[in-house]
Chain A
Amino acid sequence: MQFLRRQLPVIIAFVVGLSMWVLFYVPTQKSLELQDGFTLWVRIIVGFAAVLGVLSVVNHHYNKIKAKRPGYAFSFITLGAFLLMALSGFIKAPLPGFAAGNNKPDSLHFWLYNNMMLPMQATMFSILAFFIASAAFRAFRARSMEATVLLVAACVTMLGRVPLGELMKLGDPIFLGGPAPIDFPWWSSWLLNVPNSAAQRGILLGVYLSQIAVAIRIIFGIERTYMGGGD
């Protein structure tokens, strides 16, 4: 049992991880076929993960309703909406007032998607505009040098990335072929392409090197937290 729970996953991670690593750098037909085989397995496992996710959500809300925890009424809505959306996707027979199938514009699944899921998701995301405006008004203060630089950069970028800001140009070029002192698109582009890109490169290199380090730790069995238990 200990072998299945502890050693076997480490052996699988070692063999598969090392194989994928080596195969990536071997441009032969056999190597490509093996990579295709591995990626097919990944897609199958992802399918199981989706089932696991569904079970986890159902279990969580079922327990919440059973224990009548605060807000359990919302769990009824979650489970009901989940069942309705899933069933509408599986049922291919025509329902009263709707076309048969699940990928036709007149089907129940499409109706639910277009009239419920789409406006609700879009609404959730659009609320951000209100919160950002409120947060910027309340919290964006030039309290220090760093905050001032951030504030000025944010304002220039916001103005340089909209048509109205593009119309705001004032003054002569500060050097030959350069921008005017007030030329929001130019300064916004400069901010994104020079200081931003430089910082992003540093961040990305750090992230990728860390990912490589974590991958090596997993392949060689040093990092085992993915198996649970926190060791």
Chain B
Amino acid sequence: MNWTKAILNLDRRIIFSIVALVVAWPLISPLALPVVATPEVEAIFQGMDALPAGSHVLISADFDPASKPELQPMLDAVLQHCFAKGIKPTIMTLWPGGPALIQGSVERAAKQFNKVNGTDFVFLGYKPGNAAVMRGMVGGVQNTYANDHYNTPTSGIPIFQEVRKFADYDYFIEIAAGATVEPWLAYAVEPTKVPMGVSCTAVSAAQYYAFVQGKQIVGLAAGMKGSAEYEFLVRGSYSDALTSAGVPAGAATKGMDAQSLVHIFIVLSIIVANLAYFIERKRGPQRRSA
């Protein structure tokens, strides 16, 4: 068998093994590749960074463990940004599989920065109903969430003396693994004109660039790369605060090495497979069977 046939009939288990190696190698021995922020991610960061201390930000973390590697680093970085700057985040989720994951991020960040639940931040937890919840938040936070995630009545939480409805928030961050960006835009952001930044999985990012150009959303952090860029920006601006809080290097930044090598491998494998395909086609059916 010649090399082109060997390439075209390569056992998929060999490809799987190479992918496993390419992913594992940089995780064991990091390459520390430099991360550069794109204008779309920088816009989200600048929007948040321009807010004065004491401002209120709503974060809707609409993802579950399947999207953890791509989106949880973004949530961590946004929370670190809020706490380092003295901004008060309200965190909620519309995904039933998300609360425990998000609770971990919120409690970890609050502990690192010595923030108090109810005064410096609130975790509202999960509420079913997607668009109905979004519309409910516009009407009033306490009407939608009678209790927070820890079963504390929202009527007694100090933050809700300062913010009562969606329009009272200074900034809104949507971290989406599914189709929640457009409903948030339609039901909450457009009627209230609260600036919105979006973080989403890499596969769904393509559909949101039109909204960035239309200035309906401030910026877009796509996939693990977007999260790594946000981590890079937060660490660049709040290095001292993060160091004194003992915040380790971001998970997305670490993942960029593995993602880089896998992308390179896929591109190379496409090129090699196409070369083999064209050589084999040029040979023609008679020579192929000979």
Contacts and interface: CB of A to CB of B under 8 A. Distances in A.
Interface residues of A, number: 59
Interface string A145-182: 00000010011001101111111000000000000000
Which of B19, B68, B100, B149 has the most A CB atoms < 10 Å from its CB? B100
Contacts, number: 168
B210 A122 contact: no
Interface in B231-290: 256-257, 259-267, 269-271, 273-274, 277-278
A114 interface: yes
A109 B132 CA distance: 28
B115 interface: no
Main secondary structure, interface of A, reads: helix
A196 B266 contact: no
A200 B209 contact: yes
B139 A197 contact: no
A136 interface: yes
B128 A161 contact: no
B204 to A, nearest CB: 11
A39 B131 CA distance: 8
Given A43-B136, A192-B209, A141 B265 contact: no
Interface stretch (B33-41, B49-57, B155-163): B33-41
Main secondary structure, interface of B, reads: helix
B103 interface: yes
B210 A197 contact: yes
B263 to A, nearest CB: 4
B36 A185 contact: yes
A204 interface: yes
A159 B138 CA distance: 41
A36 interface: yes
Interface residues of B, number: 68
Given A46-B129, A158-B266, A165-B260, A133 B15 contact: yes
Interface in A109-162: 109-110, 113-114, 117-122, 124-126, 129-130, 132-134, 136-138, 140-142, 151, 154-155, 158-159, 161-162
B3 interface: no
B263 A162 contact: yes
Query: Across chains A and B, which 9 residue pairs bring their CB atoms closest together, nearest first?
Result: A164-B260, A42-B132, A163-B33, A121-B65, A43-B129, A36-B139, A162-B260, A125-B66, A118-B65
Given A158-B267, A192-B206, A192-B209, 15 more contacts: A36-B135, A42-B132, A103-B150, A114-B100, A118-B65, A120-B65, A122-B69, A129-B262, A130-B15, A133-B15, A133-B266, A134-B15, A138-B12, A140-B270, A161-B225
21 contacts: A32-B138, A39-B129, A39-B132, A40-B132, A43-B128, A46-B128, A50-B128, A118-B68, A120-B65, A121-B64, A133-B262, A136-B269, A137-B10, A159-B264, A159-B267, A161-B202, A163-B36, A163-B256, A164-B260, A200-B206, A201-B210
